[in-house]
Structure 1
Amino acid sequence: MAGPDVLSQAEIDELLSALSTGVVTAEEIKTEQKQRKIKTYDFKRPDKFSKDQIRTIYMLHENFARLINTYLSAHLRTLIHIDVASVDQLTYEEFIRSMPNPSVISIFQMRPLKGNAILEINPNIVLAIIDRLFGGPGLPPAKSRSLTDIEEAIIRRVINKAMESMQEAWKQVVAVEPRMEALETNPQFTQIVPPNDMVVLITLQAKIGQAEGLMNICIPYLVLEPIMSKLTTSFWVSASAARQASPESISVLQRKLEKTLIPAIVELGRATVTVHELLDLGVGDVLQLETKAENELSVIIGNREKFKCKPGIVGHKNAVQITQVISQGDDNDE
C-alpha cells in the first residue's frame, strides 16, 4: 500500500502562506482531499506488465548483463562494463522509431515460446568489438556504417554467445532456447508484431574500451503471455529454493562430475641438471633419478599428489597398484 505524499519544506511554507493570506481555506483543502483522484488511462497502449513482472524481468537481465560482461571481458581482453539501464513497456512502433539506421538488429526465437524477439546493438559497440577482435585497440568509429560480410560473420558468433547467456539467465524462471533467426541493419525490415502491440524493452548501457552505446532487448507481450504467471519474484524465489533442495538436481550434478575427465600422472622420479648438462644431452645418455627402485611413486591428479603406488605389469601392459591415499588438502581434511 502506498504511503501519503511527503511535502518538501518549500511546499509546506507555500501552503502555510496561502492559509495565512486567505488565498485558500482549511475547508477548501479538506474538500479537495475528499475529491476522487483520476488517473489518465490510454486504451491505445494498455499496461500489459505489472510492476512485479517488470521487476522480475529487470532482475533476469541483470544476471544476463553479468554473464555477457564476463564473456566479453575474457574474449576481448579489455575493460567491459554492461548493466541494465531500464525496463519499460511501450508499443512496438515506438521502439522501431527509436532505433538508429543503420543498426545491428538480431531477430531471435525463444523456443518453446512462440514468436520472435529482437536484440539491437548500437553500431559503435559492434564496430568496437570487431576492431578489438581483429587486433585493434577497440576504438569507436568516427562515423556509423553498415557491416561488411566478414564483420557480419564475426558478430554472429558474438550474438550466438549472447543467446547462450540469455538462456542461462532465463532458466531461473523458465527453460528457453534463444536462437538467432536473422540479422538486419534497417529497423523498417524488422516487423515482428503489429505496430500497436505492446512490448517490454530492456535497455542495457554498454561500455567497451572507449566505445559507449546501448543494447536493447525487445520482447513482445504475445511471446511472454504463456509464462506471465511465472514472471513474479515470488515464483522466482520459490523455484530457486526448490531447485537447490531437489535431490534430482544433486544426483544430476553428481553424474556429470563422475563423467568428468581428469589427467592422472604417475611420476617415476625427478632429476636436477644444469643448463650446460641439458645442452650436452644426447641419444643414449642416462639420467639418474632421485627415486630408488623400491620407493613408492606419486600419482598426481590434476596438479596435486593424491596417491602413492607401486609400479608393475598387468598382462602385457604397464600398471600401478595404489598403496596409499593422501587426504591432505581435501575438504574433509580441512
Structure 2
Amino acid sequence: MASDRLLSQDEIDSVFRNLQGTTNEEDPARKAQPYDFRRPDRIAKDQLRAIHLLHDNFARSLASSLSAYLRAYVMVNLISVEQLSFLEFSQCLPAPTCIVSLSMRPFDGNAVLELNPTMVFPILEMLLGGSGKTPYKVTREITEIEQSILDGLFRIILHDLREAWSPISQINFAIEAHETEPQLLQILAPNEAVVTVGMEIRIGEVAGMMNLGIPSIIIKMLRQKFDQQWSVRKSESTEEEQARILRLIKPAQLKFDARLQGPSLTVEQMLGLQPDDVVEFDFPVNRPVNLLVNGALKFNGRIVNTGRKRAFHIMADQSEE
C-alpha cells in the first residue's frame, strides 16, 4: 500500500545522515557559520597592525603640534583601529558634530575626519582667548565663522597626517567639504568598507574623540608598500646607501678632548688639598697624550704649539688597533 504522506525536511536530513553514518552532532551543516555578504571584505591583520603603528606615530606628532598651537599641554592617544562599513562608521558618530570630507590625491576617493563637539568648542574658546574650561556641554551645530576659525587647527592635523603617511605614500589630504550631520555625508556607499581610526584628544580635564575613516580599497592598493615599509629586512646596505649616510653625517659636530691620564685620589685626600699644594700626575714626558672624540679614545699624540695657540699632533690612530 503506497503512502501519500510527505516527508519533512528534518526526516530527509535524518535519512541522509543514516546513510552516511553520521550522527546529529557530527553533521557538517550544523557546524557551518552564517556569513553576511553585506559585510565588507576584510583587510589582513598584519596590515591593520601596520596602520596601528603608523597612526600611533601620528598621535605623538599631533600631540606636540597641538600643544604648541594651543599653548597648552595636549595628549593624543590612539584608541582603536578597525574595519567597518561606511554605514556603521557614520552611525557611530554623534550628531550634530564637526565633519570634513578629505580628498586623497593622487588617489580617487575621499576620507572622513570627525571632531566631537566635546572637543571642538573648548578648542574654539582657547583660540579666542579663553581657558577652554566650559562648565556646560554644547550640542549645537558649528557656525560658518567657527568653521573658519577651525581651519588653522585642521591645517595642523592634516599636515601631521601627511607626514605620518609619507613613508607609505605621498598622499595630499585636503578639505573638500564641511558637514554637521553624519547622515548628510554621502561620499561612499553604505556597504563600502572603511578603516576607522579612533583617537582621544585630552586638554587638561577636557577630552573628546577624533575619528578618521579611510576607504579600505585605497589601503589595499598600498598593501605592497606597507609590506616594504614595516617588514624586517636583513639585506646589507649598498655602497650608494653608505655614501648617502656619509654625506648626511659629515656636517655633524664632534667634541675633541686631549687628556693627561693622572692618578686617582680618595675623597679624603681631595678634601685635604690646600692652596699651593702640588699634585703629581705621574705622567712621563715621552708618553703620548690621549685624544678623545665624543668621549671615546680615538688618537694618541702630543701637545704642540702653532704660533700663539696650542694644538694636538696626531701620532697614532687607536681605533685601528
TM-score range with shorter-chain normalisation? 0.5 to 0.7
In structure 2, which of residues 36, 39, 49 is the aligned counterpart of residue 45 of structure 1? 39
AA matched with 1:216: N
Letter in 2 for 1:206: I
- Distance in 1, matches of 2:81 and 2:176, equals 24
The 1:144/1:132 distance shift into structure 2, 3 A limit, reads same
Who is 2:275 aligned against?
Answer: none
Deviations 1:231-279, CA, capped at 9 Å, x for gaps: 34x642459x999984686589689x89xxxxxxxxxxxxxxxxxxxxx
1:96 pairs, out of 75, 90, 101, with: 90
| Residues 187-202 of structure 1 aligned to structure 2 (within 5 Å) | 187-202=182-197
Structure 1 vs Structure 2 CA RMSD: 3.4
1:211 maps to 206
Using a 3 Å threshold, how does the CA distance of structure 1 residues 53 and 71 change in structure 2: closer, same or farther?
same
- Whole-angstrom distance in 2 between the partners of 1:145 and 1:249: 55
Which residue number in structure 2 is paired with residue 170 of structure 1? 165
Please state if 1:180 is matched with 2:143.
Answer: no
- Unpaired runs of 5+ residues, structure 2, are 1-23, 253-307, 312-321
Q: The residue matched to 2:141 in structure 1 has which SS?
A: coil
What is the Cα deviation at residue 148 of structure 1? 2.5
> 1:222 corresponds to which letter in structure 2?
I
Offset from partner CA, 1:293-323 (integer Å, 9 cap, x none): xxxxxxxxxxxxxxxxxxxxxxxxxxxxxx9
Any residues of structure 2 matched to 1:239-318 within 5 Å, and which? 246=241, 250=245
**TM-score of the pair, normalised by structure 1:** 0.60
How many residues are aligned here?
231
Distance 1:243 1:126 in 2: 47
Change in 2 beyond 3 A, CA 1:100/1:75: same
The aligned amino acid for 1:129 is I
Asked if 1:149 corresponds to 2:149, the answer is no
Which protein shows a greater Rg?
A: 2
Give the aligned partner of residue 19 of structure 1: none
Taking structure 1 as reference, are residues 246 and 188 closer, same or farther at Cα in structure 2, changes over 3 Å only? farther
Query: 1: CA distance between counterparts of 2:172 and 2:83?
Result: 23
- Per-residue CA deviations over 1:182-212 (Å, capped at 9, x if unaligned) read 2211212211111011111111112122221
Which moves more between the two structures, 82-91 or 217-226? 217-226
Aligned to 2:273: none
Secondary structure, aligned partner of 1:115 = strand
Deviation by residue 1:142-195 (Cα, 9 ceiling, x = unmatched) = 222222232211111111111110111111222212111122112122111110
Measure how far apart 1:32 and its partner are: 8.0
Question: Contact 2:121 / 2:138 at 8 angstroms: preserved in 1?
Answer: no
Counterpart check, 1:74 vs 2:72: no
- Do the aligned partners of residues 41 and 130 (structure 1) sit closer, same or farther apart at CA in structure 2, a change above 3 Å counting? same
Q: 1:206 to 1:34 in 2, by over 3 A?
A: farther
Q: Report the equivalent of 1:108.
A: 102
Cα distance change on mapping 1:40 and 1:228 into 2, 3 Å: farther
Amino acid at match of 2:73: L
Identity of aligned residues (%): 36
- SS of the equivalent of 1:231 reads helix
Contact 1:128 1:139 in 2 (8 A): yes
Look up the SS of the partner of 1:158 in the other structure.
helix
1:38 CA displacement: 4.6
Residue among 130, 134, 137 paired with 2:131: 137
Report the secondary structure of 1:173's partner residue. Answer: coil
Task: Kindly provide the amino acid, as one letter, of the partner of residue 201 in structure 2.
Answer: A
